[in-house]
Amino acid sequence: MISKNIVGTWKLVAWETKAADGQIHYPFGENPIGYITYTADGYMSATIMKSHRLPIEIPSEELMQARKVFLRPWLLVTGWKFIKAIFRYLQASANYVSYSGRYEIQGETVIHHVEVSLIPDWTGTKLERNFQFIGDQLVLITPPIGGYPQSLTWERV
């Protein structure tokens, strides 16, 4: 069953987790950027990134060469400029989450059936999120990650 209320595109307003002592933590900083889209035919796509990520500072053609260097470390001696690019590329991917697939709603839980993901371990899994609507906002709450649930607040675009 698909809730017609959830269908549409939503922009990320906040991503936070509250510790037992009441302290709030922001996994992607206080101003993350992201969108989640739910279609009427049962597909979803989510993409989130930390704002103000460092540029990789290497043209995309050269970045492809950097990937080759990463796969063949002995080439590093000839490509020192690629070392910086590789580290920036790894940092950029650590500050970015993206996945998509089918979704279903069971009660107050939305289940994302991950078919494609930046994080390979998520592919083929189910990510369950409790959800609620507060005014014009959609709030998704994850199961505990690192001991505490995370709350992602979205507003309709």
CB atoms within 10 A of CB 51: 12
pLDDT-derived band at 97 (thresholds 50, 70, 90) equals very high
Q: Where are the domains of the chain?
A: 8-52+96-156, 60-93
pLDDT-derived band at 36 (thresholds 50, 70, 90) equals very high
pTM for this predicted structure:
0.82
CB atoms within 10 A of CB 52: 9
Length of the chain (residues): 157
Whether residue 60 is predicted with pLDDT greater than 60 in this model: the reply is yes
End-to-end CA distance of the chain: give it in Å, rounded. Answer: 23
DSSP 8-state assignment for residue 152: E
Measured in degrees and rounded to the nearest 5, phi and psi for residue 116 equal -140, 135
On the 0-12 / 13-18 / 19+ scale of CB atoms within 10 A, 107 is exposed
- Decide: 19 and 25 in contact? Cβ < 8 Å: yes
8-52+96-156 to CATH, choices 1.20.120.140, 2.40.128.490, 3.40.50.720, 2.160.20.10: 2.40.128.490
Mean pLDDT, the chain, rounded, equals 87
